[in-house]
């Protein structure tokens, strides 16, 4: 049964600073939000609630990943810092330099760091510290998204590059999914990967490139023109969720995506006014214990809502 509405909108807290990143941890049923200037980490249970807020002695942060419910990794400038015991007074340890991007794994126990030099590192917590196993990337990666069992990447190349899906929590193994992307997708670097549907966009743009599975192996690629500038994208099974810089969260169900014409405007199945403090900045999706969307704003709000199937919150 497809998602039809968004409901149960709840403002969990306001952190009085821009929310720069969100990191779900399905194994522990929590989501972490990180702010920048000042840097704070706020951990919220899936059931909702204000969560525990911890101050961090860094000047700025652009991303966060949870290794487990007590250990996080954040990206500050081009550096990586491990935060140990984040629920109390975290101990900080620098664990990486010259890092282009940091990506959380919702399964936990690991995170993925992409370097500027064409290498990457699989981060893990062992012997009371965060360490990284380095490996060489295949191609020039410009976007990455980890699910519970697959690493999705976009590799630069002809046209708009290629979407690849690699089993596991790194892009080291052979790709089991490949889809060539159209030229308009060139430069898009915000990716939400999924087995049934993947979405690629660029913050501030008004289009989303989707890769939709048709049957066992066939993939359909198309460009959708959506309402308002895009702040972030997420997917759950066959549905697309677009966070708008205009303060609205829009749902496009699988049938809407399937019937949309390539390059044409598409009308949302449902849209929700967030009534947030500040412009929306980041979003993530979780599925354990119910399908939820989590939003952070430039004004410091952390918000969650439920994706509802056929009138029931499932």
**pLDDT, tens digit, 9 for 90 and up, residues 207-244:** 999 999 987 778 999 999 999 899 999 999 999 999 99
pLDDT of residue 311: 52
Higher-pLDDT residue of 125, 88 = 125
Q: Which two tokens stand for residue 138?
A: 């295949």
Domain ranges of the chain: 3-309
| φ, ψ dihedrals at 37, nearest 5° | 55, 75
Domain 3-309: CATH architecture, name and number where available:
7 Propeller (2.130)
pLDDT in tens, 119-130: 999 999 999 999
Torsion of CA 307, 67, 65, 3, to 10 degrees: -10
What integer is the mean pLDDT of 169-186?
96
Contact predicate 209/200, CB 8 Å = yes
Answer yes or no: is pLDDT of 22 > 50: yes
DSSP state letter for 278: S
Q: Which residues contact 273 (CB under 8 A, 6 or more apart)?
A: 247, 248
pLDDT of residue 2: 83
Strand partners, 234: 241
Answer yes or no: is pLDDT of 83 > 80: yes
CA distance 150 to 17: 32
DSSP state letter for 282: E
What integer is the mean pLDDT of 105-117?
96
pLDDT in tens, 56-74: 999 999 999 999 999 999 9
Angle at 45 between CA 193 and CA 12, to 5 degrees: 95
pLDDT-derived band at 314 (thresholds 50, 70, 90) equals very low
What integer is the mean pLDDT of 255-277?
96
pLDDT of residue 90: 85
CA distance 306 to 289: 11
Q: Which two tokens stand for residue 253?
A: 């169900």
Residue with tokens 């940091």: 102
Q: How many residues does the chain have?
A: 314
pLDDT in tens, 268-307: 999 999 999 999 999 999 999 999 999 999 999 999 999 9
Contact predicate 165/143, CB 8 Å = no
Answer yes or no: is pLDDT of 312 > 70: no
CA distance 196 to 239: 9
Higher-pLDDT residue of 271, 51 = 271
pLDDT of residue 87: 79
CA distance 90 to 71: 9
Question: How confident is the prediction for the chain on average, in pLDDT?
Answer: 95
Contact predicate 257/214, CB 8 Å = no
Higher-pLDDT residue of 176, 1 = 176
Contact predicate 51/45, CB 8 Å = yes
Q: Please state, for a pLDDT cut of 90, what percent of the chain lies above it.
A: 91
pTM over 0.85: yes
Answer yes or no: is pLDDT of 101 > 90: yes
Answer yes or no: is pLDDT of 313 > 70: no
What integer is the mean pLDDT of 189-215?
96
């Amino acid at each position: 049964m497809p998602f039809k509405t968004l409901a149960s909108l709840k403002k969990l807290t306001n952190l009085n600073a821009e929310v720069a990143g969100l990191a779900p941890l399905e194994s522990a049923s929590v989501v972490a939000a990180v702010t920048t200037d000042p840097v704070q980490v706020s951990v919220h249970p899936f059931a909702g609630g204000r969560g525990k807020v911890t101050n961090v002695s860094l000047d700025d942060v652009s991303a966060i990943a949870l290794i487990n419910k007590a250990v996080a990794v954040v990206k500050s400038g081009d550096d990586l810092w491990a935060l140990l015991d984040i629920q109390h007074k975290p101990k900080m340890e620098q664990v990486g330099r010259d890092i282009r991007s940091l990506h959380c794994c919702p399964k936990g126990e690991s995170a993925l760091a992409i370097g500027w030099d064409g290498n990457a590192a699989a981060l893990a917590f062992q012997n009371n510290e965060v360490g990284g196993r380095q490996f060489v990337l295949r191609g020039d990666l410009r976007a990455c998204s980890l699910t519970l069992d697959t690493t999705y990447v976009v590799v630069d190349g002809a046209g708009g590059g290629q979407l690849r899906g690699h089993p596991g929590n790194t892009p080291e193994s052979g790709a089991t999914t490949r889809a060539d992307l159209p030229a308009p997708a060139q430069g898009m670097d915000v990716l939400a990967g999924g087995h049934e549907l993947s979405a690629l966009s660029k913050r501030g743009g008004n289009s989303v490139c989707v890769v939709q599975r048709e049957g066992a192996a066939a993939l359909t690629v198309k460009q959708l023109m959506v309402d308002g500038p895009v702040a972030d994208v997420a997917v759950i099974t066959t549905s697309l969720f677009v966070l708008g810089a205009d303060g609205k969260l829009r749902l496009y169900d699988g049938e809407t995506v399937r019937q949309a014409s390539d390059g044409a405007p598409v009308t949302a199945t449902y849209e929700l006014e967030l009534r947030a403090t500040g412009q929306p900045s980041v979003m993530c999706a979780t599925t354990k214990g119910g399908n939820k969307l989590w939003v952070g704003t430039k004004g410091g709000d952390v918000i969650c809502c439920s994706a509802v199937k056929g009138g029931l919150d499932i």
